[in-house]
Amino acid sequence: MSRPAVFITGAAAGIGRATAVLFAAQGYHVGAYDIDEVGLTRLAAEITAAGGSVHTGVLDVTKDTQWEQRLDEFYAEAGRLDILVNNAGILRSGRFESLALSAHQQIVEVNVGGVLAGTHTAFPYLRDTPGAQVVNLCSASAIYGQMDLATYGASKAAIKSLTEALDLEWETYDIRVIAIWPLFVATGMVDGMSTGSTASLGIRLTADDVAAGIWRATRKPGRLRKVHYEIGIQAKVLATLAKYSPNPVVRAVNKHLGNS
């Protein structure tokens, strides 16, 4: 297949779905994967009706064997893997001690374990595709630990470090690894969520905003090998604050946001 190929997890809804639709419209062969078969069927119908190319499959990102099967199937069909988008994730909000230990563990299993499994399994396909890229969904909640989102933010901070390390390690294979940093996005993940941060900052981004950010980030990079891409003015401000302000100031700002 001559057209470029993108493999997207968590594609049945939200950011993953918007990204799949956008990349299909731009001529990519889209691999859309999720545990939600109904959502995938609807997505495939929309992309196909618009003249796009899509392959869907059920994928639980915590299952190594499913990663092996889905990536093998997709590569056999597409003959290449230009972009892997690690989007699948879960969010649980609330004070740390109020959430069951199993809920914290599930966040780590999906948000960290799923990315580890997928990226590791995808390596040979990425290596064999010139100019391949990995896109990891981070979160502005990981810029500094957020009240009510302790483990979620920690999981995204882990992905930040993984992204940076792999971008250094895999440069020799012509594989670029980048992180996308939105703040709160109006998707099903935040339905019913009430935290101090969402109350003070609001939920201003849409899934389409993030998809557009992923599209821009995956275009040809400039001379500087940029790794982190904040989405939206709020994320940019918070990242700049964390980078240039003394730690006590950053802590005070985040405490204020969390208590609002």
The pLDDT tens digits for 40-52 are 999 999 999 999 9
Q: What is the pLDDT of residue 70?
A: 98
Class of residue 133 by CB neighbours under 10 A (exposed 0-12, middle 13-18, buried 19+): buried
Q: What is the pLDDT of residue 97?
A: 97
Q: Could you say which architecture CATH assigns to the domain 5-259?
A: 3-Layer(aba) Sandwich (3.40)
Q: How do 29-34 and 53-58 pair as beta strands?
A: parallel
253 vs 155, more confident: 155
- The stretch 105-115 carries a mean pLDDT of 98
Name the residue ranges covered by the structural domains of the chain. Answer: 5-259
Q: What is the pLDDT of residue 260?
A: 64
Q: What is the pLDDT of residue 242?
A: 85
Q: Report the chain's mean pLDDT, rounded to a whole number.
A: 93
- The stretch 82-90 carries a mean pLDDT of 97
Q: What is the pLDDT of residue 220?
A: 76
**pLDDT single digits (tens) 205-252:** 899 999 999 999 999 776 778 999 999 888 888 888 888 898 888 889
Q: Which two tokens stand for residue 98?
A: 């109020």
Q: Which two tokens stand for residue 48?
A: 């196909």
Question: How far is the C-alpha of 194 from the C-alpha of 148, rounded, in Å?
Answer: 9
Q: Give SS3 for 57.
A: strand
Q: How confident is the model at residue 191 (pLDDT cuts 50, 70, 90)?
A: confident
N- to C-terminal Cα separation, the chain: 52
Q: How confident is the model at residue 184 (pLDDT cuts 50, 70, 90)?
A: confident
Rounded to 5 degrees, what are φ and ψ at 53?
-120, 125
Q: Which two tokens stand for residue 155?
A: 């999981």
pTM for this predicted structure: 0.93
- The stretch 175-179 carries a mean pLDDT of 98
Question: How far is the C-alpha of 83 from the C-alpha of 25, rounded, in Å?
Answer: 15
Contact indicator for 158, 141 with CB cutoff of 8 Å: no
Choice among 59-68, 168-177, 203-212, 250-259 with the minimum mean pLDDT: 250-259
13 vs 197, more confident: 13
Q: Is the pLDDT of residue 1 over 70?
A: no
Q: Is the pLDDT of residue 204 over 80?
A: no
Q: Is the pLDDT of residue 194 over 80?
A: no
- Residues with a catalytic annotation lie at 152
Neighbours of 253 (CB within 10 A): 15
The residue type at 17? R
Nearest alpha-carbon partner for 57 in 46, 48, 49, 43: 43
Question: How far is the C-alpha of 60 from the C-alpha of 33, rounded, in Å?
Answer: 9
Q: What is the pLDDT of residue 177?
A: 98
Choice among 20-29, 129-138, 234-243 with the minimum mean pLDDT: 234-243
